[in-house]
Structure 1
Amino acid sequence: MKLILTSEVTGLGAPGDIVEVKNGYGRNYLLPRGFAILWTRGGERQIVSMKKAREAREIRDLGTAQEVAGRLKSLKVSLKTKAGQGGRLFGSVTTGDIAEAVKAAGGPELDRRRIEIPNAIKSVGSHRVSVKLHPEVSAALDVEVIGA
């Protein structure tokens, strides 16, 4: 099945990429969730606009990405959320929450889709998340979750 990706899919591609996937994966996962659209000649015109939008959001080059990674490494990010007894959170910390906390701490503005949380953050304490800044640069970020 030939598809055009509309959002980034880890291990498959970025928005605007034309990919060939198995029928079940495309029909049952990518299409219903809006991660892709069926490939058509008219759809190729949409690729141009998607790539322009992606270029505007992406960090321009490798040097800039490494500079941002250095800034993130030295940044202290703390996040206040409601917590119950024993330090368990009501809900969990999302990538959007982390992006806002980084910006509030004086860090760069990050796209929430570039932040990867390996395990759901559901307790107070220090947690490590990774930020994919560039295809070749990934930065580790320590987030301190404080119960309120």
Structure 2
Amino acid sequence: MKVILQKDVPNLGDAGEIKDVASGFARNYLIPRKLVIPALEGNTRALEHQKKLMEIKSARRAKEMEGVAEKLKGLGSVQVSVRVGVGNKMFGSVTPMQIAQVLAENDFAIDRRKIELGEKIKAPGNYNFKVKLAEKISVPLTLEVIPIHEEEEYVSPVTEDHSADDEQAEASTEETESTESAES
């Protein structure tokens, strides 16, 4: 079944493309979620008009993203503070969501899905990552993971007031001795 993609669909294509997919996949998944429409004659004419509008929008959006990219390049690096334990061992890892929050604090509204980490970040140090703003606009940045050392406090074993327990133990010992002497 030929369909016209209304939105970007992972592993299938981008919005505006005409694709051939299985009929069941189209009827049961793509069409109910409004991801595609059937590629009928009237729909293809509407698609051509829609493509022209999308080109205008994408050109405008590309200009905006280039401005954001220049501002991000000016930022240079992003610092994230993480708690570490003994031996600089991090509790968890740094995620794209944490980086997006730091960027938001610096007045950049970047979706976490646009942040591409090359590797999992599980130790303090410097790492490189990319922010993919648009299809052909990607900004490389440096991530500086700063450790915050947890104060290791020695907690002594809990000492309870055992004076009441000692009195009970002495009383039971005295009872045992008195019952033993009474039995003999």
1:60–1:38 CA distance, 2 compared to 1 (3 A): farther
The correspondence for 2:27, drawn from 40, 46, 49, is: 40
- C-alpha deviation, 1:59, in angstroms: 10
Q: Report what 2:182 is aligned to.
A: none
C-alpha distance after superposition, 1:57-114 (max 9, x if no partner) = x99522211111111112142111111234332111111011001111x141101111
CA distance in 1: counterparts of 2:15 and 2:91, whole angstroms: 34
Aligned 1:49-68 pairs, distance under 5 A: 61-68=61-68
CA distance in 2: counterparts of 1:88 and 1:14, whole angstroms: 42
1:7–1:117 CA distance, 2 compared to 1 (3 A): farther
State whether residues 9 and 35 of structure 2, in contact with CA within 8 Å, keep that contact through their aligned partners in structure 1.
Answer: no
CA distance in 1: counterparts of 2:60 and 2:112, whole angstroms: 17
Q: Report what 1:26 is aligned to.
A: none
TM value normalised by structure 2: 0.53
State whether residues 59 and 134 of structure 1, in contact with CA within 8 Å, keep that contact through their aligned partners in structure 2.
Answer: no
TM value normalised by structure 1: 0.64
CA distance in 2: counterparts of 1:46 and 1:12, whole angstroms: 15
Q: Which amino acid aligns with 2:26?
A: W
CA distance in 2: counterparts of 1:102 and 1:70, whole angstroms: 14
- Identity, in percent, stands at 33
- C-alpha deviation, 1:20, in angstroms: 6.0
1:129–1:15 CA distance, 2 compared to 1 (3 A): farther
Q: Report what 1:99 is aligned to.
A: 100
- C-alpha deviation, 1:44, in angstroms: 6.2
Q: Mind listing any 5+ residue stretches in structure 1 that lack a counterpart?
A: 24-36, 49-54
- C-alpha deviation, 1:142, in angstroms: 1.2
Q: Which amino acid aligns with 1:81?
A: V
State whether residues 114 and 132 of structure 1, in contact with CA within 8 Å, keep that contact through their aligned partners in structure 2.
Answer: yes
C-alpha distance after superposition, 1:11-36 (max 9, x if no partner) = 75458977668x9xxxxxxxxxxxxx
Secondary structure, counterpart of 1:123 in structure 2: coil
1:69–1:127 CA distance, 2 compared to 1 (3 A): same
The list of structure 1 runs, each at least 4 consecutive aligned residues, that deviate by more than 2 angstroms after superposition, is 1-9, 11-21, 84-88
State whether residues 80 and 145 of structure 2, in contact with CA within 8 Å, keep that contact through their aligned partners in structure 1.
Answer: yes
Higher strand share: 1
Q: Report what 2:84 is aligned to.
A: 83
Q: Which amino acid aligns with 1:77?
A: V
State whether residues 124 and 146 of structure 1, in contact with CA within 8 Å, keep that contact through their aligned partners in structure 2.
Answer: yes
State whether residues 2 and 38 of structure 1, in contact with CA within 8 Å, keep that contact through their aligned partners in structure 2.
Answer: no
Q: What is the aligned length?
A: 124
CA distance in 2: counterparts of 1:17 and 1:83, whole angstroms: 48
CA distance in 1: counterparts of 2:120 and 2:67, whole angstroms: 28
